[in-house]
């Protein structure tokens, strides 16, 4: 953990999103409706829209959205649940969701 202490949360969150893009070249990533990330501890420099910044840093198009939510320990699980809810409700077709501890 200490080795990554100097890495910003959005840079760190961009790594798995970029890996997802790279592993799935047949997906049209222009179709991403939203990136939803839970973040339990936003403070200081990390007090920004982590999901939006991570998506952009990973190479998602500027038209993709991003929302960061804070439910403390339940942030990541709530982000995934929220993504499932919007897909099930037909408000979105393609959503990236996960969690971070800034």
Q: What is the pLDDT of residues 10-59, one digit of tens each?
A: 899 999 999 999 999 999 999 999 999 998 877 666 567 999 999 999 99
pTM summary value: 0.88
Cα–Cα distance measured from residue 9 to residue 11, given in angstroms and rounded to the nearest whole number: 5
Say which residue the tokens 């080795």 belong to.
3
Q: Mean per-residue pLDDT for 2-17?
A: 83
10 Å Cβ neighbour count for 6?
A: 7
10 Å Cβ neighbour count for 21?
A: 17
Supply the CATH number for residue 8's domain.
Answer: 3.40.47.10
Range list of β-strands (E), 12-90 = 34-39, 67-69
Containing structural domain, residue 85: 2-100
Number of domains in the chain: 1
Q: Give per-residue pLDDT as tens, 22-31.
A: 999 999 999 9
Both structure tokens of 100: 């971070």
């Amino acid at each position: 953990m200490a080795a990554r202490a100097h890495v910003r949360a959005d840079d760190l969150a961009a790594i798995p999103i970029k890996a997802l893009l790279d592993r799935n070249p047949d997906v049209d990533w222009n179709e991403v409706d939203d990136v939803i990330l839970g973040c339990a501890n936003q403070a200081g420099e990390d007090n920004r829209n982590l999901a939006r910044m991570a998506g952009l840093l990973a190479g998602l198009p500027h038209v993709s959205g991003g929302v960061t939510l804070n439910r403390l320990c339940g942030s990541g699980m709530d982000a995934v649940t929220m993504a499932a809810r919007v897909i099930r409700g037909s408000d979105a077709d393609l959503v990236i969701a996960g969690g971070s501890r800034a």
